[in-house]
Amino acid sequence: MPDPLETIPWQPPSVLPRHIAVIMDGNGRWAQKQDRPRIEGHRHGVASVRRTVEECVRLNIAQLTLYCLSSENWKRPQLELDFLMHLLEQYMIEERSLLMQQGVRVSVIGRRDGIPDSVMGEIETTIEMTSRNDRTRLCLAINYGGRSELVDAVRTIARQVRDNRLDPDSIDEQVIAQSLYTANMPDPDLLIRTAGEMRISNFLLWQISYAELWVTEKTWPEFEVSDLQAALVEYAKRERRFGGLSEGP
């Protein structure tokens, strides 16, 4: 007999994050445990992306940001990098119709150097096609590094000062935030990391200053909708004080 509790529809908590960021870790480890090539872990990770995006759309989460390829990942074997680029290009082509049906708007953050022209072309096509969608924004961090983002922001601000378009004394947190790749995006409320690693790996260093962290031992290909729901339940239990005092006794 099935567990009667499993037939009860999951009810989301009353407090949901506006923006969820995910460090999708453990694809290679999942493949090794399955005695498969590392690239198979990346392939299976795409299914987890689809599940997570669909649930965020269902819950009206405003933004989901996925750490797809870090600027440090270029150190990996060329065969694996080539497959990742192929997988990214394939995702952009094959998921477009579903993204359009779900009203998902795609954006990308990170440096473009190193990304093949064919892949970049498909990315730009998907961004343009989904630009008018008004439900969940899916932001993909590709060739992204938090320190590189801050370097680029400083360069942008320095050029504005040099050209007398910005007074150095007027530089504040808002000026810096608007110079980041994520300008006009909300900061993440919840940062999820898979595969049990307790670090942020150069991801959204400025933006996650007050994000709630949630880590699971599951690798990314094992990440199910129920895991996302568990993270949301835990998030709703936490008191976010942003440096202030608790409202409790």
* From 35, 60, 73, 189, the catalytic residue: 73
Which distant-in-sequence residues (6+ apart) come within 8 Å of 98 by Cβ? 50
- φ, ψ for residue 40 (rounded to 5)? -70, -30
Task: Return the residue matching tokens 């049990």.
Answer: 196
- φ, ψ for residue 32 (rounded to 5)? -65, -40
CB 203 within 8 A of CB 73: no
What the block records as the tokens of 138 is: 């899916």
Q: What one-character-per-residue DSSP string does 164-230 give?
A: TSS-GGG--HHHHHTTSTTTTSPPPSEEEE-TT--S-TTSSTTTTTTPEEEE-SS-GGG--HHHHHH
Q: How far is CA 113 from CA 83, 142, 143, 144, in A?
A: 17, 10, 8, 11
Pairing of strands 19-23, 105-109: unpaired
CB 203 within 8 A of CB 147: no
Q: Identify the pLDDT of residue 10.
A: 84
Distance of alpha carbon 107 from the chain centroid:
11
Q: Identify the pLDDT of residue 246.
A: 62
* From 3, 25, 169, 172, the catalytic residue: 25
pLDDT tens across the length of the chain (249 residues): 444 444 457 889 999 999 999 999 999 899 999 899 888 989 999 999 999 999 999 999 999 999 999 998 888 889 899 999 999 999 999 999 999 999 999 999 999 999 999 999 999 999 999 999 999 999 999 999 999 999 999 999 999 999 999 999 999 999 999 999 999 999 999 999 999 999 999 999 999 999 999 999 999 999 999 999 999 999 999 988 766 656 655
How far apart CA 243 and CA 112 sit, in angstroms, is: 36
Distance of alpha carbon 204 from the chain centroid:
9
Q: Is 142 helix (H, G, I), strand (E, B) or coil?
A: strand
User: Is 73 one of the catalytic residues?
Assistant: yes
**Residue 22: how many CB atoms within 10 A of its CB?**
27
For residue 94, give the amino acid letter: E
How far apart CA 227 and CA 219 sit, in angstroms, is: 11
Task: Return the residue matching tokens 């895991």.
Answer: 227
**Residue 105: how many CB atoms within 10 A of its CB?**
18
User: Is 25 one of the catalytic residues?
Assistant: yes
How far apart CA 166 and CA 164 sit, in angstroms, is: 6
Q: Domains (ranges, CATH) in the chain?
A: 16-146+188-237 (3.40.1180.10)
Q: Identify the pLDDT of residue 249.
A: 54
Task: Return the residue matching tokens 């094992």.
Answer: 222
